[in-house]
Chain A
C-alpha cells in the first residue's frame, strides 16, 4: 500500500515536469510574420527553418503553396517531410530565375541582382544594373513566358524559379518542378493597393536572408508615400482626370477599385471613374467615355501611344478631348531602357512613392516645385 502511494506520487511529479516544457517549446519556436498591406503571403518561423506560404498567387486561387526555407549551413542536418511542402529552398539563394520585370527592382534594392542567372524576354529589362549583367552574358535569355526554354533553364541549375500565374495552368512550370527545382508563384500583381504590391520586397528578403534590410526599405517607401499623400491632401483644387484609350471600339481604363485609381485618389485628383468597382479594367464604349471625359483636365496613360501625333493618327476622335487640345496628355511609355523595356512596368510596382509623386507633380505642379517626374512625361 505504501509503495503504491509512492509510485503514484512519483508519476505525478514526472507528468508535471513535462507539461511546462512543452508550453515553453511552443512559445519559443513559432513566430508568425503578418504584413501591414500585403495579403497574398505570410511567413512562419520555426527553430530550424521558415515556412513561406503563398496564399493568393492568382485571382480566386483555391490552393495555397508552402515552401520550406532552410539556411544552407544546416540544410544537410535537417530532415523534412517533402510531401508537406511545394518546395524546399536553401537560403540565402545563390542562383535565381525570375520571370517578371517587376521582380528585378526588389533584387537590386536588396543588392542581390548578381544572383539572377536567367530571365525570359531580356529585352524588356530596363534597369542599367541588370542590363549590364545581361550584356556581360551573366543572365541567360530564356525565351518567353508561357513558353520558357526548359532546356536552357535546367542547364542553368537555379535553386529557385520565381514565376507568376494566371490560373495555375503552366506546363513549363510543372516540368521544372518535376526536375527538382522549386517554383514559387509571386502574386504581387494580385494585390489591391500600391503599397501592398511594394511590400512583396519582403518575399525576396526572406529568400536572401535579408529580412531586416527588406523591412527597412519598405518602411522608407511607405514613409515617402504617406508624406506625399499628406502633402497632396492639402490642395483644394482637384483636376479631373481621364485615362486609357480605345482598342477598336472599346475604351479600357482602370476601375475605381484598382491600384491605379488608389494612386489617383491618394494624389487628391478627381478621377472620373473613381466610383466604379470591377476586377481589372473597365471596358467602355467610346460614347460613354467621350460624354464623361471630353472636358477632363488631364489625360494619363493613353495606352501605348507615345506622341500626340500617334494619337491623332490612330483616331481623330482623340483630338476632340480638351486634354488633347491643351496638350495635357501624360504617359510613361517614353521612359525606356536601352532595349525598349518600359521602366514604369518594371519599377512602378516596387516604387509607388515615385509614381505617386509623379502624379502629384503632373496634377498639382505647385506643391512639388523642384521635383522632376521619374516616369510620366508630357506627350508632344
Chain B
C-alpha cells in the first residue's frame, strides 16, 4: 500500500509529460503552423490545405510512430537486460538490429543478385518489413541457443557482438556486389525514419507491436522471478524454458518490427531502462515496464522534435539525435549514482 502511493505521483507526471510532448511534437516542424491551427485541424478542418495535410497525414502518424518506437525499444531493452542479466543488453548489442539489417540487406541489396522477377517481389515495402523481422528473430534465437550452453553473462554479451560482426560481414559482401542505387536505398534505411508511414502501415505496425506488448505484460511475473536466479525461480514453480521463449518472442516482435518500419534506431533500447531504474529505484517490473513505456515514448518524441529542426527547411537523421542524447545521459547517470539497480 505505501509503495502504490509512492509511485502514483511519478506516473501522473510521466503521463502528463507524454501528452505535453505529443502535442509539442505535432506543433513543431519545418513549416511554422500556428498552435491554434494545429489544434483546430484535429477537430475540424482549416483553410490552408497544405497545413491540414501536413498535420493529419504527416505529423500525426509520425508522432504516433515515435511513441510506438520509443516505448517498444525501451521495453525490448528492459526484457533483454533482465533475461540475460546483463546491463549492457539491448537490441543493438545482442544483434537483433544487426539481424534485421541483414534481413533488409538481403531484401534490398540481394534483389539484383537474385534476378529480375524475384527483385520486383523483394523490393516491395512489406518484404523489407518481413525480412527485418525474420532476421532479428533468427539472430535472437541463435543468441538464446548459445546462452543455454554458456552460463557466463559476459561471454553471452561478447557472443552477441560476434553475431553482429558476422551479419555486418555478410552485409559488406552484399554491398560490394550491389549497384549504387541499391546501396543508396540501404544506407538511407539505416539512418532511421519516423516520417514515412501512412495510416495503413501504422495500423499494421501497431497490431504487431500490441502483440509484443501483451506478451511483455504477461511476462512481468516471470521477469521478476528471473531476477532471483534461475534455480530459485524453478523452486517457485516457474517454467523457465517457456517463460524465456515468450520473452524472446516479445522482444523479437517489438525490436524487429520497429527496426523493420523505422530502421535501426540506436540507444533508446539501452538507455531508457537504466534511466527508469535510477529514477524509480526499484527492480519490480510491474513498475519498470509501464515507466519504460512512458519514458521511452517521451524521449523519442523529444528526439524527433529536435530532429525536425523547427522552422528550418532541413532535418537531421533521427538516429543521430537519439545517440547524441542517449549516450551522455547514461554516462552521466551511471557516474553520478554509481550503483546499478540491477
**Chain B: how many interface residues by the 8 Å CB criterion?**
33
Q: Which of B49, B124, B184, B194 contacts A247 (CB 8 A)?
A: B184
| Complexed CA–CA distance, A316 and B58 (Å) | 10
Chain B contacts of A85 at CB under 8 A? Answer: none
Could you tell me if B188 and A291 are in contact, using CB atoms closer than 8 angstroms?
A: no
On chain A, the residues within 8 Å of B142 by CB distance are none
CB-based contact A291/B58 at 8 Å: no
Segment with Cβ contacts to A, from B95-103, B132-140, B204-212, B308-316? B308-316
B315 touches A250 (CB 8 A): yes
A residues 199-249 near B (Cβ < 8 Å) are 246-249
Write the nearest CB–CB distance from A196 to chain B, whole angstroms: 25
- The interface residues of chain B, by DSSP majority, are classed as loop
Task: Please tell me if A288 contacts chain B, counting CB pairs below 8 Å.
Answer: yes
Considering only residues 293-334 of chain B, those with a C-beta below 8 Å from chain A are 307-309, 312-315, 317-318
B267 at interface, CB cutoff 8 A: no
A284 within 8 A of B: yes
Interface residues of B in 255-313 (CB under 8 A from A): 263, 307-309, 312-313
Cβ-based interface call for A283 (8 A): yes
Contact B195 A249 (CB under 8 A): yes
Q: Are B125 and A248 in contact (CB under 8 A)?
A: no
A291, B54: Cβ atoms under 8 Å? yes
Partner of B53, one of A249, A282, A290, A314: A290
Supposing A249-B196, A317-B58 touch, asked if A288 and B31 sit within 8 A by C-beta, the answer is yes
Q: Are B30 and A248 within 8 A (Cβ)? A: no
Q: Which residues of A contact B54 (CB under 8 A)?
A: 287, 290-291
Name the interface residues of B37-66: CB closer than 8 Å to any CB of A: 49-51, 53-54, 57-58
Q: How far is the CB of B59 from chain A (nearest CB, A)?
A: 8
Query: Known interface pairs A287-B54, A288-B313. Does A316 touch B189 (Cβ–Cβ under 8 Å)?
Result: no
Q: Is B71 an interface residue (CB 8 A)?
A: no
Q: Is B110 an interface residue (CB 8 A)?
A: no
A247, B29: Cβ atoms closer than 8 Å? no
Residue on B nearest A333 in the bound complex, by CB: B181
B11 within 8 A of A: no
Instruction: Establish whether residues A248 and B193, one from each chain, have CB atoms under 8 Å apart when the complex forms.
Output: yes
For the complex, give the distance between the alpha carbons of A68 and B195 in Å.
55
* Contact of B188 with A288 in the complex, beta carbons under 8 Å: no
* Neighbouring B residues of A247 by C-beta, 8 Å: 184, 188
B202 to chain A, nearest CB (A): 11
Question: Nearest CB to that of A314 among chain B residues?
Answer: B125
- For residue B31, which residues in chain A have a CB less than 8 angstroms away from its CB? 287-288, 290-291
Q: Is the CB of A320 within 8 A of B53?
A: yes
Knowing A248-B263, A291-B50, A313-B125, the reply to whether A285 touches B30 (Cβ < 8 A) is yes
Binding site for B on A (CB under 8 A): 246-250, 282-288, 290-291, 294, 304, 313-317, 320
Q: Which 6 pairs across A and B sit closest by C-beta, in order of nearness?
A: A248-B193, A285-B30, A288-B313, A287-B30, A288-B30, A285-B315
What are 21 A-B contacts with C-beta separation under 8 Å? A247-B184, A248-B188, A249-B318, A250-B315, A284-B30, A284-B315, A285-B29, A285-B30, A286-B195, A287-B31, A287-B58, A288-B313, A290-B54, A291-B51, A291-B54, A294-B49, A313-B125, A314-B125, A316-B198, A317-B58, A320-B53
Not counting A282-B313, A316-B198, a sample of 18 additional A-B residue pairs whose C-beta atoms are within 8 angstroms of each other reads: A248-B188, A248-B191, A249-B195, A249-B307, A249-B318, A250-B188, A250-B315, A283-B314, A284-B313, A284-B314, A285-B29, A285-B315, A287-B31, A288-B30, A290-B53, A294-B49, A315-B196, A316-B57
**Chain B residues in the interface with A (C-beta under 8 A):** 29-31, 49-51, 53-54, 57-58, 124-125, 181, 184, 188-189, 191-196, 198, 263, 307-309, 312-315, 317-318
